[in-house]
Amino acid sequence: MKAHIALLPGDGIGPEVTAEAVRCLKAVGARYGHEWRLDEAPVGAIAMDATGMPLPPATLALAKTADAILFGAIGAPRYSDPALKVRPEQGILQLRQELGLFANLRPVVCFEAVLDASPLKPELLRGVDIMVIRELTGGIYFGAKTRTATEASDLCVYTVTEVERIVRLGARLARQRRNRLTSVDKANVLETSRLWRSVVLRVMKDEFPDVVLEHMYVDAAAMHLLRRPSDFDVVITENMFGDILTDEASMLPGSLGLCASASLGSGTRGLYEPIHGSAPDIAGRGIANPYAAILSAALLLRHSLALETEARALEAAVVAALDAGVRTADLKPAGRPASTHEAGAAVLARLR
């Protein structure tokens, strides 16, 4: 097939890890006879340096016409002053909103070969395979904001439609997996959560009575994710809870550097990014873990291009590289850590 892929490497370690994901995508294309058109554009702090805008119009236009977007990371210390009106992070938030990418799939999978990289006990981690679906274009991230010298506010709003589409996606995915859906909210305190829960109850009763449903408060979910992670199958939750819980959940596989994500809307166009940030402290040194970026490229093949065989081949190659002991510094290697490029090469060498 032919596909047009937008490359938005962004800031910090974004370009380094994206380069390895692109090498893998090219290899998949060559091996399976696909033709990719790859176009790169600036986003985030580097785009602000050049244009003053975190999401220049040309970058947005590219993202809107491509079949899929491979995204690196965003954010830089030189733009972290809280007094700033324009910030790099607005680049990714605008992209999600402009492209209608309302659902963020964040798989949390523990890889057998690196169980020891996690701060948690290996016996807790075996078999962990969670699909967190984070609502991505609503809630407190996108509500009205106010600020005076003495007061500030962020409004959290959810509509029935916004909740319904997340529930349906979560329930459909649960049916293809272990048929369990956990809905995370704070319905004991927040009105948006009470709306969320009532929509979940209705949609599940009317449309998915066969899927096992449970509700969990977000504080309890934060605890149970560490106490009994293998009990979770599909988790649905609102924007900010999902942001926080998935960083927490990344400690199950052992590193943010193993956690990929797919941001999807109602069509097939999606944005694929590792959930880690720009990690300015290690940027430019060639030591960042590229596996999450490569696994994000696999999600791109699966969800935007419907290339399941190719997606699985790439995921299997990452697992094989981990099995062979190729570990970047974040994965606590016994000997010399693999560089970003070496880890990418290890995946390439194992691609069937």
**Active-site amino acid positions:** 141, 186, 219, 243, 247
**Residue 248 sits in the site that holds ligand IPM (CB under 6 A):** no
The minimum distance between CB 203 and Mg ion, in angstroms, equals 27
15 binds, among Mg ion, ligand IPM, none (CB under 5 to 8 A by kind): none
Residue nearest to ligand IPM (CB): 89
167 scored as a contact of ligand IPM (CB under 6 A): no
CB atoms within 10 A of CB 30: 12
Contact range with Mg ion by CB under 5 A, out of 58-66, 80-88, 239-247, 333-341: 239-247
The answer to whether 39 contacts ligand IPM (rule: CB under 6 A) is no
Binding ligand IPM (rule: CB under 6 A), the pick from 17, 69, 92, 234 is 92
Q: How far apart are CA 228 and CA 247, in angstroms?
A: 17
Using the rule CB under 6 A, is 89 a contact of ligand IPM? yes
Binding residues with ligand IPM: total (CB under 6 A)? 7
- Helices 340-349 and 291-303 meet at what angle, rounded to 10? 50
Minimum CB distance to ligand IPM, residue 75 (Å): 6
Binding to ligand IPM (CB under 6 A) within 59-88 occurs at 74-75
Q: Which is nearer to ligand IPM, 63 or 348 (CB)?
A: 63
Could you tell me the smallest distance in angstroms from the CB atom of residue 260 to ligand IPM? Answer: 12
Quote the least distance from Cβ 276 to ligand IPM, whole Å.
Answer: 9
Counting contacts by CB under 5 A, is residue 243 touching Mg ion?
Answer: yes
- In one-letter notation, the amino acid at residue 337 is P
Q: From CA 77, how far away is CA 271, in angstroms rounded?
A: 24
Task: Quote the least distance from Cβ 261 to ligand IPM, whole Å.
Answer: 7
State the minimum distance, in angstroms, from the CB of residue 74 to ligand IPM. Answer: 5
Q: Give whichever of 100 and 333 is closer to ligand IPM, judged by the CB atom.
A: 100
* 16 lies in the binding site for Mg ion (CB under 5 A): no
Partner touching 92 among Mg ion, ligand IPM, none, CB below 5 to 8 Å by kind? ligand IPM
Query: Considering only residues 265-284, where is the footprint of ligand IPM by CB under 6 A?
Result: 275
Q: What string marks each residue from 185 to 224 as x (binds Mg ion by CB under 5 A) or -?
A: ----------------------------------------
CA distance 270 to 35: 18
Buried b (16+ CB within 10 A) or exposed e, 131-164: bbbbbbbbbbbbeeeeeeeeeeeeebebeeebbe
Q: Examine residue 243 and tell whether it contacts ligand IPM (CB under 6 A).
A: yes
Positions that interact with ligand IPM (CB under 6 A): 74-75, 89, 92-93, 243, 275
Instruction: Using CB under 5 A, list all residues that contact Mg ion.
Output: 243
